[in-house]
Amino acid sequence: DSLSRLFARCGCVQSVDICEKPGEKKEKLTSKFFNCKTVTGFQVAYVVFRKPAGVQAAKALSREGPLLISTESHPVKTGISKWIASYAASVVDREELKAEVDAYMQDYDKKIAEEEAKAAKEEGVPDEEGWVKVTRKGRKPGLPRTEAANLRVLEREKRKRARKELLNFYAWQHRETKREHIAQLRKKFEEDKQRIALMRAQRKFRPY
């Protein structure tokens, strides 16, 4: 918005694309929630005018001195006001997100249904060269998407539970080994005490 406003004095600005590197093509964002890449540091801007005269006028701006993006009439948010605005923009509207996800899934389901219908229609029909495309289907019919997802979640939970039980077993085994080692040390200490007492009684105790 700031660049459009600055270069509007040269002519009608059609678009402004900000990219990370020169020469790269900016991908068109299809979603405001997903695949949003944040670029930090220096960037490259491409200003497109509706008429070629705007480009010539923009070249002449270099003789007028630097262009100020932030002015009193059009201040650019910085500091804590910028952080507050960034945080407010990061808060996701649940209804809007749900609407976008539902629309995406409807398009996806429609696309899958069209592909399945096309494959079923072409099954067993020879092509231009007389070849017949053979598709191998499983013995069990395909599970619905939601059921398959539930099975994946259950399988993931099962593996996680098994891993936790294994870790608990290792911890228990480590504690048992440590407990046995301490018991052996105590037993050896008692045996040494008895041996020293016996040697003292026999007046054969030689510490050196």
Predicted local distance difference test score (pLDDT) of residue 94: 84
Residue 49: band (very low, low, confident or very high) from pLDDT cuts 50, 70, 90: very high
Q: Judge if 15 and 80 occupy the same domain.
A: yes
The contacts of residue 7 (CB under 8 Å, 6+ apart) are 13, 16, 47, 49, 54, 58
Q: Is residue 2 part of a domain?
A: yes
Predicted local distance difference test score (pLDDT) of residue 128: 66
Does residue 74 sit in helix, strand or coil?
Answer: coil
C-alpha span between 58 and 11 (Å, rounded): 9
Residues 49-66, mean pLDDT to the nearest whole number: 85
Q: Judge if 18 and 80 occupy the same domain.
A: yes
Q: Is residue 20 part of a domain?
A: yes
Q: Judge if 13 and 79 occupy the same domain.
A: yes
pLDDT tens digits for range 58-87: 888 877 778 888 888 888 888 898 899 888
Q: Judge if 64 and 102 occupy the same domain.
A: no
pLDDT tens digits for range 92-137: 888 888 888 888 889 889 999 888 888 777 776 666 666 766 665 5
Predicted local distance difference test score (pLDDT) of residue 48: 92
Q: Judge if 79 and 112 occupy the same domain.
A: no
Q: Which two tokens stand for residue 41?
A: 């540091």
Q: Based on the number of CB atoms within 10 Å of its own CB, is 7 exposed (0-12), middle (13-18) or buried (19 or more)?
A: buried
Q: Judge if 9 and 80 occupy the same domain.
A: yes
| Continuous H helices in 61-93 | 79-90
Element (H, E) at 97: helix 94-122
Predicted local distance difference test score (pLDDT) of residue 116: 85
Predicted local distance difference test score (pLDDT) of residue 143: 47
Q: Is residue 78 part of a domain?
A: yes
Total tally of structural domains belonging to the chain: 2
Predicted local distance difference test score (pLDDT) of residue 26: 65
Q: Judge if 36 and 104 occupy the same domain.
A: no
Q: Judge if 83 and 21 occupy the same domain.
A: yes
Q: What are phi and psi of 112, to 5 degrees?
A: -65, -40
Element (H, E) at 31: none
Residue 192: band (very low, low, confident or very high) from pLDDT cuts 50, 70, 90: confident
Q: Kindly report the pTM of this predicted structure.
A: 0.40
Q: Judge if 2 and 23 occupy the same domain.
A: yes
Residues 170-179, mean pLDDT to the nearest whole number: 81
Q: Judge if 79 and 23 occupy the same domain.
A: yes
Q: Judge if 2 and 85 occupy the same domain.
A: yes
> What letter represents residue 202's amino acid?
Q
Which residue has better confidence, 140 or 34? 34
Q: Which two tokens stand for residue 146?
A: 């939601």
- Give the number of residues written for the chain: 208
pLDDT tens digits for range 129-173: 667 666 655 444 444 556 667 777 888 888 888 888 777 777 777
C-alpha span between 204 and 208 (Å, rounded): 12
Element (H, E) at 14: strand 13-19
What's the N-to-C CA distance of the chain in angstroms? Answer: 91
Which of 38, 67, 90 terminates a domain? The answer is 90
Q: Based on the number of CB atoms within 10 Å of its own CB, is 152 exposed (0-12), middle (13-18) or buried (19 or more)?
A: exposed
Q: Judge if 68 and 28 occupy the same domain.
A: yes
Q: Is residue 145 part of a domain?
A: no
Predicted local distance difference test score (pLDDT) of residue 50: 92
Q: What domain range is 41 assigned to? A: 1-90
Predicted local distance difference test score (pLDDT) of residue 166: 77
